[in-house]
Copies of this chain bind each other. A is one copy, B any other.
Amino acid sequence: MPSEFTVRRRVEFSETDMAGIVHYSNFFRYMETVEHGFYRSLGFSVVQDRHDPPVGFPRVHASCDYWKPLRFEDEVEIHLRLIEKKEKALTHQIVFRKVTGDGTEEVARGKLIVVCVAKKADGSMGAVPIPSDMAAKLEITNPLPPPERG
């Protein structure tokens, strides 16, 4: 059962800033891309309107540690590992690796905690259990150990 997912993308010009590197906020957009691709790989969309009531997965925590920059036209591998599954929440570890001539080099590492929510009778959103068909497909894996940094 899948507990990991990887996408590759090329850095766009519009994602850089005047320092010549990918703006740090865009790593959070990249995290979302791999997260949604992961759900799609399981046969689900993050927009879960086929469940009743429809559920969503807002973030309650997002973080990223950066040690090398990404630049325009760099190819980057974004690797998601589902490292914790609770009744109503998932924790993803996200690893960013720049594709180099002879392999990859880790440049940043992030974490996302998402909560499953649905609209309650009073119209507000509240945490609910992850739908059972989705939960059944989610298996956790070990987090990667902290990177060795030179």
Contact = CB atoms under 8 A, between A and B. Distances in A.
A21 B16 CA distance: 11
A63 B58 CA distance: 15
A121 interface: no
A13 B25 CA distance: 11
A59 B69 CA distance: 10
B13 A14 contact: no
Contact of A14 (B12, B29, B45, B62): B29
A46 to B, nearest CB: 6
B58 A65 contact: no
A21 B45 CA distance: 16
A16 B67 CA distance: 22
Contact of A25 (B14, B45, B73): B14
Q: Which 7 A-B pairs have the closest CB atoms?
A: A63-B63, A16-B18, A25-B28, A18-B20, A24-B59, A14-B29, A25-B25
Given A13-B18, A47-B72, 18 more contacts: A13-B32, A13-B36, A14-B29, A16-B17, A18-B18, A18-B19, A18-B72, A21-B58, A24-B28, A24-B58, A25-B32, A36-B73, A45-B73, A58-B69, A60-B67, A61-B63, A61-B64, A61-B66
